[in-house]
Amino acid sequence: MRSKRTQSLKEVLNDWIRSSGLQGPLAKGRVIAEWESMISPQMEQHVGKAWVRGDRLFVTVHSTVWRQELHMRREEWRHKLNERLGGEMIRELIFR
């Protein structure tokens, strides 16, 4: 039976994403994509894989010097990332 309420394509897709359980994986992918777009080419040479677990973003750093520098500025990076994401999606940024 057809619904009498007309829905936009955005609403239909959002409903489908929620019902199929894809909301979490898509959000994680968005976090990683935003993180990768934020880092400079110079920084890109020193960082590796990034992944999300819960509300924490983990980033592999190849150099101890860079790891220390990023760690000291982690709240600044976290704030910038959450600003780009439009909400408080990441509560902790961990450099390994």
With beta carbons less than 8 A apart as the criterion, state whether 60 and 47 touch.
yes
| Overall fold of domain 27-95 | GMP Synthetase; Chain A, domain 3 (3.30.300)
What 3-state DSSP class applies to 92?
Answer: strand
Take residue 45 and report the two structure tokens written for it. 């040479």
Q: For 91, which DSSP code? A: S
DSSP assignments along 43-80, one per residue? HHTTEEEEEEETTEEEEEES-HHHHHHHHHTHHHHHHH
Q: How far apart are CA 8 and CA 65, in angstroms?
A: 50
Q: How far apart are CA 2 and CA 36, in angstroms?
A: 43
- The pLDDT tens digits of the residues spanning 76-95 come to 999 999 999 888 889 999 99
- The pLDDT tens digits of the residues spanning 58-72 come to 999 999 999 999 999
Considering the entire predicted model, what is its pTM?
Answer: 0.76
